[in-house]
Structure 1
Amino acid sequence: AYAGILVIFPGLTSQNFGMRNQGLNYGFMYFGFAVGAVIAPYVTSAIAKYTGSYNTVFILTTVLLLIGVVLTLITKKYVATVLAKIH
């Protein structure tokens, strides 16, 4: 489902960042989703028009996905370290 990720965001946010500032953290996650939803169609169509193919778009999307996975893992480890120091 297209908007399925929006259902996962609140739980994912509280699991990774705790309940403190849950609303603010969830707002940042949702804002990122919204910005991507607005900008991505324009960027992908411009790249496809420039290159004449969607191959570059798929490669770029894959690279961004991998960067997102790495950042998620790094953030999760960092947050766990900070929470361990607090508690």
Structure 2
Amino acid sequence: MLKDWKLESTLSRVVNPLPATTNLDEILDKHLNNFKSFSRGRRGSNPPLDIVDDEWWALGQRHGLATPLLGFFSLCCSVLCFQ
């Protein structure tokens, strides 16, 4: 059962049904920039403003944003449940 389970990010699961002609880089940029904009005034002084995009993705994943990152914590918990 687990061997058929494909490892993919939450964002991949969202964009996979889109047509093949869709510009995925444009979607990623817009998605991340929207998160950055919506987080203004909600995050206090942490993290600093000069963090790189990968850190923004990690912060977004922590708050439930669909990201291109794999969620290893939930993956490990799922594997442990099926052992």
TM above 0.5, one fold?
A: no
TM-score (norm 2): 0.33
Q: Which has the higher contact order (CA 8 A, sep 6+)?
A: 2
- Greater helix proportion: 1
